[in-house]
Amino acid sequence: MDIYDEIEIEDFTFDPELKIFQHPCPCGDRFAITLDDLVDGEDIAVCPSCSLMVKVIFEPEDLEEFLED
């Protein structure tokens, strides 16, 4: 498994409805990972349209602002 890149969580866009973080993929689609996965300690965001994967760089406390209510 070759990781394409490492991307800091602040460079992802958070969708508050779907509770997912997304970042542009060089194929034209977007890398995505759910907030739940990050909370569970997962850190690999995948693209639905290609095999590329990125590692999300974050600290657990970075998630706090998204975990309200």
Partner 1 sequence: MILACGSNGKYQLGNGSDEDSSEFIPCKFLIDGQITQSVQRPLKILHGGNHTMVLFENGQLFSCGDNTFGQCGHDSPQLITVFTQVPGKWSNASCGWEFSILVNDKSELFVCGSGSKGELGLGDTTQCKLTKIPIDLQVDDIQSTVQYTLLRSGDNFYAWGNGKKGQFIEKAIFQTPTKVDLPRSKDIKSYALTKDSVVLNYGSSIKSLGRLEIEVQGQIQSIKTMWSSIHYQIDGKLSSQGNNSHGQLSDNHLTNFESFETGSEHGILQKDQLYSWGWGEHGNCGTSSEPNHDQIVFKQLNPIYDQPVSLISCGCATTFIVQ
Rule CB under 5 A: which residues touch Zn ion? Answer: 25, 27, 29, 47, 49-50
Q: Shortest gap between Cβ of 28 and partner 1 (angstroms)?
A: 4
For position 2 contacting partner 1 by CB under 8 A, the verdict is yes
Cβ atoms of 38 and 49 closer than 8 Å: no
Interacting residues of 59 by C-beta distance below 8 A, sequence separation 6+: none
30-34/5-8 β-pairing: unpaired
> Should residue 66 be labelled a site residue for partner 1 when binding is judged by CB under 8 A?
no
Q: Which of residues 5-64 bind partner 1 (CB under 8 A)?
A: 5, 10-11, 13, 24, 26-29, 49-52
